Amino acid sequence: MPRIDSHQHFWKFNPLRDAWINDDMRSIQRDFLPEDLKRMLDSYSFDGCISVQADQSTTENKFLLDLASRNEFVRGVVGWVDLQSPGLHEQLSLYSSNKLMKGFRHVLQGEPQRDFMLRPDFMRGISALNSFGFTYDILIFPDQLGYTKKFIEAFPNQPFVVDHLAKPYIREKKLAEWKSDISDIAEYENVFCKVSGMVTEADWKNWEASDFRPYLDTVLEAFGPSRLMFGSDWPVCQVAATYSSVVEVAVKYFGQLSRHEQDSVFGNTAKKFYNL
């Protein structure tokens, strides 16, 4: 069974391009490259990782694919493509020739138009992904879950994964509305969920593992272990935690499951979803 960290990032820090890494996050205002991650993966017996875009550009795709080609443990890349582009099919055809490109995502959480994913041109782009074998990572905030349900209803055969549990309001201990909405999303068998990004939605300086239990209970019940995949969200997680503490929260919580179910969360789900 491969052990896969299904969500992490690499970058050479550029303060203009990476303006989202503000001064509250100054601890990650530096370069993060494969050699920085490899020793941490090894320490927890991870065989590989999925590298996810942090910048919406084709330059980012080239950067991540180049790193993956030179570092065998980077098993795949989730890049970015302009899904509304008239030339989308040509771009997807080109990317499909590189087996390291597994799928794409758009930073929907940052769009002023909260139902951006329902734009006809965007949906037209999504409809092209499956024919090329590409997955799609859904990056949203909880206020977008209702729109996302309508979005995924239109694509029953497209593999989707919700990043970071859709970023529930852990810091404020809000649960009920998010729980209802994420459970609705989970009814669609083609939708998966990443157990990632929780520490940055909690109180960065004062979180405890118990803060995450209600949210983990929800996604475990809603998706089941066969549609959950662990991701560290390194290095973003380092604004609130160490790599080790993020892994240990998940290992301790999912330790209640059978070995087969734990294998799903920590590797087999990602292997299946991203066709590793």
Query: Looking at residues 175-184, what average pLDDT do you find?
Result: 98
Q: pLDDT grade, residue 1 (50/70/90)?
A: confident
E strand or H helix that includes residue 260: helix 259-263
What is the predicted pLDDT for the residue at 15? 85
Tell me: pLDDT of 149 over 90: yes
Most distant CA atoms of the chain, gap in Å: 49
Q: Where are the alpha helices (DSSP H) in 130-228?
A: 145-153, 176-186, 213-223
> Which of 56, 242, 260, 50 minimizes the C-alpha distance to 163?
50
Going by pLDDT thresholds of 50, 70 and 90, the confidence category of residue 230 is very high
Distance from first CA to last CA of the chain, Å, rounded? 12
Residue 227's pLDDT band (cuts 50, 70, 90): very high
| For range 13-19, the mean pLDDT | 87
What is the per-residue pLDDT for 241?
96
- What pLDDT, in 10s, does the model give residues 67-117? 999 999 999 999 999 999 999 999 999 999 999 999 999 999 999 999 999
- Using the predicted structure, report yes or no on whether residue 200 has a pLDDT greater than 90: yes
For residue 106, the SS3 value is: strand
16 pLDDT more than 90: no
Q: What is the pLDDT of residue 21?
A: 86
Q: Is residue 18 over pLDDT 90?
A: no
Which pLDDT value is given to residue 139?
98
